[in-house]
Structure 1
């Protein structure tokens, strides 16, 4: 909270002054009662004027403190989200994907919001919970130390009950939060997987996981209630105004009978001291707010603790000379000390040439594609783009060299026009249309009711898979970057869409350095070179005919593809 600490302290000071003004109102009313008792025929205008002024002042101070604390909370929320966004932009993109979008979204939205609630709402509670009892005690001591001691006894008894109610609450609250999150995850999983659920288990297994999570949540709540319910209710009873009033009434009556207390002082004590213990009621709320804030703070710190990628100084950053790509003795593993996904991989892709990456599943092909734009950093060796080490290039410089088309295309919920010119906001509508024509997307876009202004829908759900892919290719054509990485861009396309995609990709690849991750080997027969990977190693390298003649891994993959191409489904015979 350091960035807004000054604002928070100001809000707390204003709230404390507001609490003092509230007590000043009660003191002024007590003064008015004493004057009425002493001079029944005179209306106590000065005391009433002080009471009215103090009431207005208390209201104004509380309102101002409320505004200050909320402004501080909004400022903190903005700064936290900005810092988190900037930090996420500096950590490896692969690590972001590993963390998962749901977990990061919870930190960015829910946990930061929890900090907002804590800062905005805790300020007046702190003033009420700590300033009011102290000022009330001071006033009571000034009026009569015996009555002040009796009221303090009720307060101490209430604090003891609160302590019992909060005993072990941190661990219980942690378990409560964890159980609640499991329920939320089970609900989200059930809703998102609805097509699979209805197809396979009609919801019995998936919904059963939700029921199990709900059962655990219920057990935690019941256990919490049984362990802390009695002291919590007891503390609420003790800290209500009635016990304090009863004690002050009984002791005050006894002192009056002994003629050891003036009736005016007694009435003032009843007016002021009745709410002394009650003003500690927010302590329980504060404890829960602190516990929630601590959970959120821990999650925020976990994200901020992820080591960002080191960046070179701006004045020493390297710049690529051309569109070539070179791997030099590259080792890579996704986890420190984990299994190596790539081992001693070395190859060169000259500028303007078409290179295909093939191999069995898990061989490391997609990993190579992700290492080029530095989604991850290598464990050993280096990757050079245009002769420059990618670790010595500024991110903007590197990303201006590389464009991607993945098999899983992503569109934002905005218009198709905005989706195509993503990263090129200055592009004119005419330039967007030319890119869409080259990507074989213009005709189907114009057939839509709103044309290029048609919303794509969340994640592009208003379009088919092939249409989404062609919009993605149009975006990439518009960016016109010298290096193009294709990760099985036609994997899920039907024959009609695949033909359109092949035309779009052929236009996109003109004059570019192309690295294509391919499973359909027929699409890369004419590649300038084919790199064959197996278990993270580069085992073969050459052109199609040469690799077939070697009768190695590539030849086996080709033969398997040929057999799959001639596979047909036949009716069984009895």
Structure 2
């Protein structure tokens, strides 16, 4: 557990963590040892001169006070180290996530990471602050008390020692029996969270379609699954909790009987019997709390394992000696890319000369967006090579590569903040005049003029306070401000109304002017402006040529084009 914690955190935190563990173990051991003073105290109290017990009582009081101070110091260290670890964990996780390839972030992964970065990190980092001290007490204090019992009377000490392997076996059995239930509960929690989020986001569509009842049923099903998984988890842990209590009570009863037999036989005195029973009762208390602490530790360990898996995910390798692209052209050479068992891009070779525009069209699932992502090195290819300016993207530093590429996707994400702040993401150090010029070129200034607050208008989380067309204008203005020589466009106008489409097209024309462009598009207006059209199907280039040329051929592209531009039935 501690080794995994240090691996997740990094070795720079090893010393404070080990110091805290040592302090907590010392406090637990000191607590057990302090009870050894009960033996001379009780001997004197039960003896002919009870007043002689005062020195031993004073020593016992001093030992208890020392234990309290040591406990305070260890707990304080735990809280301080826990706070430091929490801050360090967030920094390390954030830095690592920023280095992972963009292609790593699919829809399911984003939800998983968001839960992990919230509840998961807090639960994992609570080990030092809240869970380690009870666990140390449950392990170290009873063992110390067993050692004291061995010193008081070896027979009673051996009786107590016999319980150690039994308790360890019960805990191991409980951990094995609850592992599957814990994993199922985690999966059901994620499923329920996804259903809640889906239900909230789909409210406008569901209410318009009058289908809220069905969605309630889906959400209720997910919540029922969580309840069933929770019940199975409790039932799986219950035998271990009951077994531990039975073992502890059985050992205490055995010590009581053994002590009575020994006392009646005159082998030990009443003081030793009472002291042994007090020690046994004190050792039983942390053992009975072990079940709860162990359950929380298992949950924290599971979160640590998930954090460890993310942190051990390797980012795309950076070149030791980065090269600089010689020009602005793009090339794909026999590129193969697989996602799991599926080949998404299969042997694609494509050359885009500097300053030219290439449109990529094809049916859904053909691999068009993946092609753009490979050009931006969101993923590394499995075979072949992607070249920018004649250099393999794997030999170009990430910062240098992204400085040369501007990407505008269909689904635009804006950070909560002002319009100006979102535009400045393209080039944070740009002057105000450059920001205004980029906004005017993207016709974003029209949006700014009609919004209350103008440039200081808040766009909301994800840009929710703006329409789809307005978000696209922000995205284009951001790309214009970046002024990258290569532009990648993905279905930018596929879901816009005519007014916004016209404005976005005007901004795109300014963005594409003089740049190397690869665009995924379906609209006639976009494709006709391309110097070349590539028809992609099942990850392969089926046809390649100019728009008019491909229409004259009457092949796959012509059929696809006719189907996509045909008027709707009854229109």
Range class of TM-score, shorter chain: 0.7 to 0.9
Match of 2:514 in 1: 511
Q: Does residue 1:396 correspond to 2:399, yes or no?
A: yes
CA contact (8 A) 1:456 1:463 kept: yes
CA contact (8 A) 2:438 2:481 kept: yes
> For the residues of structure 2 that align with 1:358 and 1:253, how far apart are their CA atoms?
90
- Aligned partner of residue 526 in structure 2, secondary structure: helix
> For the residues of structure 2 that align with 1:356 and 1:230, how far apart are their CA atoms?
65
Q: Does residue 1:209 correspond to 2:218, yes or no?
A: yes
- Aligned partner of residue 411 in structure 2, secondary structure: coil
- 2:135 pairs with one of 123, 126, 141: 126
The C-alpha deviation readout for 1:128-163, integer Å capped at 9, x for no partner, is: 122211221222233333444555567777667666
Q: Structure 1: state its 5+ residue gaps.
A: none
CA contact (8 A) 2:28 2:137 kept: yes
Assess, with a 3 A threshold, how the Cα gap between structure 1 residues 348 and 252 changes in structure 2: closer, same or farther. Answer: closer
The C-alpha deviation readout for 1:303-357, integer Å capped at 9, x for no partner, is: 355454333213xx221122222233x3333325533534333232323x33333
- 2:295 pairs with one of 259, 278, 288: 288
> For the residues of structure 1 that align with 2:437 and 2:471, how far apart are their CA atoms?
17
Match of 2:348 in 1: 344
Q: Does residue 1:174 correspond to 2:165, yes or no?
A: no
Equivalent runs, 1:389-428 vs 2, <5 Å: 389-428=392-431
> For the residues of structure 2 that align with 1:549 and 1:160, how far apart are their CA atoms?
78
Q: Does residue 1:489 correspond to 2:496, yes or no?
A: no
Q: Does residue 1:451 correspond to 2:454, yes or no?
A: yes
Assess, with a 3 A threshold, how the Cα gap between structure 1 residues 485 and 268 changes in structure 2: closer, same or farther. Answer: same
CA contact (8 A) 1:17 1:58 kept: no
Q: Does residue 1:333 correspond to 2:337, yes or no?
A: yes
CA contact (8 A) 2:134 2:286 kept: no
CA contact (8 A) 1:24 1:51 kept: no
Q: Structure 2: state its 5+ residue gaps.
A: 1-5
Equivalent runs, 1:203-282 vs 2, <5 Å: 203-226=212-235, 229=238, 232-233=241-242, 235-236=244-245, 239=248, 252=259, 255-282=262-289
- 1:442 pairs with one of 439, 442, 445: 445
- Aligned partner of residue 376 in structure 1, secondary structure: coil
The C-alpha deviation readout for 1:166-185, integer Å capped at 9, x for no partner, is: 56233333334334443333
- 2:329 pairs with one of 324, 331, 348: 324
> For the residues of structure 2 that align with 1:327 and 1:160, how far apart are their CA atoms?
60
- Aligned partner of residue 309 in structure 1, secondary structure: coil
Assess, with a 3 A threshold, how the Cα gap between structure 1 residues 162 and 126 changes in structure 2: closer, same or farther. Answer: closer
Match of 2:463 in 1: 460
> For the residues of structure 1 that align with 2:202 and 2:282, how far apart are their CA atoms?
54
Assess, with a 3 A threshold, how the Cα gap between structure 1 residues 545 and 21 changes in structure 2: closer, same or farther. Answer: closer
> For the residues of structure 1 that align with 2:166 and 2:558, how far apart are their CA atoms?
84
Q: Does residue 1:65 correspond to 2:74, yes or no?
A: yes
Per-residue deviation, 1:274:
1.9
> For the residues of structure 1 that align with 2:343 and 2:176, how far apart are their CA atoms?
45
CA contact (8 A) 2:345 2:371 kept: no
Structure 1 stretch 107-116 or stretch 505-514: which is displaced more? Answer: 107-116
Equivalent runs, 1:363-378 vs 2, <5 Å: 363-378=366-381
Assess, with a 3 A threshold, how the Cα gap between structure 1 residues 39 and 201 changes in structure 2: closer, same or farther. Answer: farther
Per-residue deviation, 1:410:
0.7
- 1:303 pairs with one of 303, 310, 326: 310
Per-residue deviation, 1:504:
1.9
- Aligned partner of residue 339 in structure 1, secondary structure: strand
Per-residue deviation, 1:406:
1.2
Assess, with a 3 A threshold, how the Cα gap between structure 1 residues 368 and 157 changes in structure 2: closer, same or farther. Answer: closer
Structure 1 stretch 14-23 or stretch 477-486: which is displaced more? Answer: 14-23
CA contact (8 A) 2:32 2:142 kept: no
> For the residues of structure 2 that align with 1:379 and 1:319, how far apart are their CA atoms?
23
- Aligned partner of residue 324 in structure 2, secondary structure: coil
Match of 2:3 in 1: none
CA contact (8 A) 1:155 1:276 kept: no
Per-residue deviation, 1:32:
4.5
Root-mean-square deviation (CA, aligned residues, Å) is 3.4
Q: Does residue 1:140 correspond to 2:149, yes or no?
A: yes
Per-residue deviation, 1:283:
3.2
> For the residues of structure 2 that align with 1:310 and 1:167, how far apart are their CA atoms?
38
CA contact (8 A) 1:374 1:390 kept: yes
> For the residues of structure 2 that align with 1:263 and 1:512, how far apart are their CA atoms?
96
Match of 1:354 in 2: 357
Assess, with a 3 A threshold, how the Cα gap between structure 1 residues 155 and 524 changes in structure 2: closer, same or farther. Answer: closer
Assess, with a 3 A threshold, how the Cα gap between structure 1 residues 41 and 514 changes in structure 2: closer, same or farther. Answer: closer
> For the residues of structure 2 that align with 1:286 and 1:128, how far apart are their CA atoms?
10
- 1:116 pairs with one of 119, 125, 128: 125
> For the residues of structure 2 that align with 1:372 and 1:156, how far apart are their CA atoms?
60
Assess, with a 3 A threshold, how the Cα gap between structure 1 residues 270 and 91 changes in structure 2: closer, same or farther. Answer: closer
Per-residue deviation, 1:520:
0.8
- 2:112 pairs with one of 78, 103, 123: 103
TM-score, scaled to structure 2: 0.86
Match of 1:502 in 2: 505
> For the residues of structure 1 that align with 2:477 and 2:48, how far apart are their CA atoms?
91
